[in-house]
Amino acid sequence: MNPRIVIMGPQGAGKGTQSERLAEAYDVEHVTTGGILRANKDLETEHGTPGEYMDRGELVPDEVMAAIVEEALGSRDGYVLDGYPRNRAQAEYLDEIADPHLVLLIEVSEEVSIERLSGRRECRDCGATYHVDFDPPAESGVCDVCGGELFRREDDEPEAIRRRLEIYYDETEPVVAHYREETDIPVKSVDGEQPPDDVFDDIESMVESTVPQPSASED
């Protein structure tokens, strides 16, 4: 069976990296609301453009997000959903339109989040990502892949990082309690401060012990 996974955790936990690996390993779609929004930053909605909220590190309005998520999940029978839900209203909406097998929570401390986000750099041309200390390019400010210029995302500026983490702890973390206490969907935590390969190994064993495997359903 194709896994339907919601991946959660604070900014900088490694959700993007791990979601991509998971989606590839199980051949399902990586649905990243941040990625969809970045590709539609200037889209006019009745609430303004997504970019206006994103650059400030604020959440894009729930109504806009509901339409995006509904379309992105469509009738897919497997996905890794990364970046949604971010608050209680979004979690309740997702309960109505989707039925995930598993919620994966990647845990890192607030200090680690800040350290990872503030050093993050992205290539203007090809989107490759680096970290000034942990994964630097060969030449400072220049992309190894395509030679493009590296920049710091607006929402990785210190003030926006502070706001994003505040929203995470105030609004998004309670969603984990919603899953634990008010649904039957299992929540599994993984230590996101380990090296990425170890995080992925843990995630894979969690998926395998939680999502019904093809051999089990054929029995």
β-strands 102-107, 129-131 pairing = unpaired
* Size of interface with ligand AMP, in residues (CB under 6 A): 17
Which string of x and - marks every residue 76-115 that binds ligand AMP (by CB under 6 A)?
-------xx-x---x-------------------------
- The least distance separating ligand AMP from the CB of residue 171, rounded to whole angstroms, comes to 9
Residue labelled with tokens 């992309």: 143
Q: Are 120 and 156 in contact (CB under 8 A)?
A: yes
- How far is the C-alpha of 35 from the C-alpha of 70, rounded, in Å? 15
Which amino acid is it at 151?
A: F
Check residue 11 for interaction with ligand AMP (CB under 6 A): yes
* Surface-to-core class of residue 61, CB atoms within 10 Å of its CB (0-12 exposed, 13-18 middle, 19+ buried): middle
Q: Are 183 and 94 in contact (CB under 8 A)?
A: no
Check residue 33 for interaction with ligand AMP (CB under 6 A): yes
List the beta strands (DSSP E) in the chain: 4-8, 29-32, 79-82, 102-107, 120-123, 129-131, 150-151, 187-191
Is 152 one of the catalytic residues?
A: no
Q: Which of 6, 23, 31, 60 binds ligand AMP (CB under 6 A)?
A: 60
Check residue 34 for interaction with ligand AMP (CB under 6 A): yes
Check residue 23 for interaction with ligand AMP (CB under 6 A): no
Check residue 21 for interaction with ligand AMP (CB under 6 A): no
Is 116 one of the catalytic residues?
A: no
Residues that bind ligand AMP (CB under 6 A): 11, 33-34, 37, 53-54, 57-60, 65, 83-84, 86, 90, 155, 164
Catalytic residues: 15, 86, 120, 153, 164
